[in-house]
A and B are shown apart, each in its own frame.
Chain A
Amino acid sequence: MPAPSSLPAPDPSAPHRPRSRTDLFLSFTWLALQGFGGVLAVVQRELVDKKRWMTREQFVEDWAVAQILPGPNVVNLSMMIGGRYFGLPGALAALAGMLAAPLVIVLLLAALYGGVADSPLAQGALRGMGAVAAGLITATGIKLIAALDRNAMGMGVCIGLAALTFVAIALLRWPLLWVLAGIGGGACLWAYRVVGATPSTVEHGA
C-alpha cells in the first residue's frame, strides 16, 4: 500500500476535497442517514451539488464503475472516493461511515420493534416513501444527462444508447447482466474507437 502522498493527484477540476479521514467518515455517515429507499440521490446532491468533491462528469464515470462491479453500488462508490483521497484507510473510513450508524439503527429497530414494519401504518408510510424514492432516483438520472454533453461519443449517440438501455430494462425487462454485456459492451467498443483519436481529457462531442 503506497503512502497517500504517492497516490495520483485527484482530478483538479473538482473545487473541493475531503479534509481528512474523519471528514470522510462523518460525511458518509450523514449521507447514509439521509438515505431512505436508496442513498444514491443523496450522494449526488451532497457530493456534487453541495460539497463539490467531484464534478457531475466525474460522478457519472465513477458511478459507471461502481455499478458494474459486484456489491452494493453506493458502498462501492464511497470506497472509490475514499480510496482516491486517502488510500486504503480512506476507503475503509468511507465504508465504515456508510454502514456503521445505519447498521446500529436497523438492529435497534429489529430488536425493539421486530414486527413493526408489518403494521398497516408502517406499510402505508413505506408505500409513500417508496414513491418518493422512485422520484429521487429518476430525477438524479435526469440531472446527470447534462454530464453526457462532454462525452466523447457525442450527445446523439449517448441519447440513443440511453434510450436502448431504458427500453431493454424498463419495458422489455431484460436481465441487467445481458444489458451491461450487450449494450454496454457495444458502447465501450464504440467509445474505444472514438477516444483513441482524442487527447486524455474528455472532449466536447461532435
Chain B
Amino acid sequence: MSMAATPGNWLDLFSHFASLSLLAVGGAITTAPDMHRYLVHENGWLTDGQFTSSIALSQAAPGPNVLFVALLGWNVGLNAGGGPGAGWLAWALALFGVAVTMVAIMLPSSVLTYTATRWAHRNRELRVVRAFKTGMAPIVIALLIATGWLLTGSHDHPARDWPLWLLTAVATLLVWRTRLHLLWLIGAGALLGALGWV
C-alpha cells in the first residue's frame, strides 16, 4: 500500500484535499469519510489501520482536530518513501506529504474565511449582516450542546458506559459553574480512562 511519488500523484492529492477544504462546513473532520474513500479504497495509499491511527493520535494530542489531515499526509509520504525503515528519503517525503495535505486543506477555506469575514466586519451595520448574526446565534449554541450530546451518545451501552456519562455530566457542571482550569479536567479524564475506571 503506497503511492508512487510522482508529481502527478502529489498534484492529485493536493487538488483532492483542496476541493474538500471548501466542503468542510462543520470542520475538516466532516470530510474524513471521503478522505478514507480516496486514500484507502480508491488509491490504496494508506492502510485502514494507518487512517484510523491518524485520527486517534490527533485526538490524543493538543490542538485543532484538523491536524489529523497532517498525519494522513505524513503517512502517505512515509509509505511512498518505503516506510520508516527506509531512511531520510522516507522522512523527507513524509514532511512533504504534511505540507501538501495541510496547505491544500487550509488554503481555500482560509482565503474564503478571511475575505468573507473582513467584508462582514466592514459592513457589520448592514441589515443583512446583523440579521445573519442574530438569526444564527441560537442555532450555533444549540449545535454545541448537540455535539456534546452526540459525543456522549456514541457510547450507548448504559450498563457499561454509565461511568463515562457520569464523567461527562460532572465535567459539564464543573466547567459551567466553576473556574477550575480545563487542563485539570482533561488530565483527570485521561487518568480515569487509563486506569480503566470509565
> In the complex, which residues 144-198 of chain B have their Cβ closer than 8 Å to any Cβ of chain A?
144-153, 155, 164-165, 167-176, 179, 182-183, 185-186, 188-196, 198
Q: Within 8 Å of chain B (Cβ to Cβ): is A125? A: yes
Number of A-B contacts (CB under 8 A): 381
> In the complex, which residues 62-84 of chain A have their Cβ closer than 8 Å to any Cβ of chain B?
63-76, 79-80, 83-84
- Docked-complex contact A74 and B116, CB < 8 angstroms: no
- Docked-complex contact A67 and B113, CB < 8 angstroms: no
**Chain B residues whose CB sits within 8 angstroms of the CB of A206 once the complex forms:** none
Q: Within 8 Å of chain A (Cβ to Cβ): is B86? A: no
Q: Which of B25, B54, B109, B195 contacts A176 (CB 8 A)?
A: B25
Q: Within 8 Å of chain B (Cβ to Cβ): is A163? A: yes
Q: Which residue of A lies closest to B91 (CB)?
A: A111
| Distance in angstroms between the alpha carbons of A61 and B114 in the assembled complex | 16
- Docked-complex contact A68 and B74, CB < 8 angstroms: no
Instruction: Tell me the minimal C-beta distance from A186 to chain B in angstroms.
Output: 8
Binds A, one of B4-12, B33-41, B128-136: B128-136
Q: Which of B65, B67, B117 contacts A103 (CB 8 A)?
A: B67
Residue interface bits A5-25, CB-to-B below 8 A is 1, else 0:
000100000000000000000
Q: Within 8 Å of chain B (Cβ to Cβ): is A106? A: yes
> In the complex, which residues 113-153 of chain A have their Cβ closer than 8 Å to any Cβ of chain B?
114-118, 121-145, 147-148, 151-153
Number of interface residues of B (CB under 8 A): 101
- Per DSSP, are chain B's interface residues mostly helix, strand or loop, or mixed? helix
> What residues make up the interface of A, taking CB atoms closer than 8 Å to B?
8, 32-42, 45, 49, 60-61, 63-76, 79-80, 83-84, 88, 91, 95, 98-99, 101-103, 105-107, 109-111, 114-118, 121-145, 147-148, 151-153, 157-159, 161-166, 169-170, 176-177, 179-180, 183-184, 187-192, 194-196, 200, 202
**Chain B residues whose CB sits within 8 angstroms of the CB of A127 once the complex forms:** 164, 193, 198
Q: Which of B60, B108, B140, B188 contacts A64 (CB 8 A)?
A: B140
- The answer to whether A187 and B167 touch (CB under 8 A), given A117-B56, A176-B30, is no
- The answer to whether A106 and B58 touch (CB under 8 A), given A61-B133, A114-B84, A148-B138, is yes
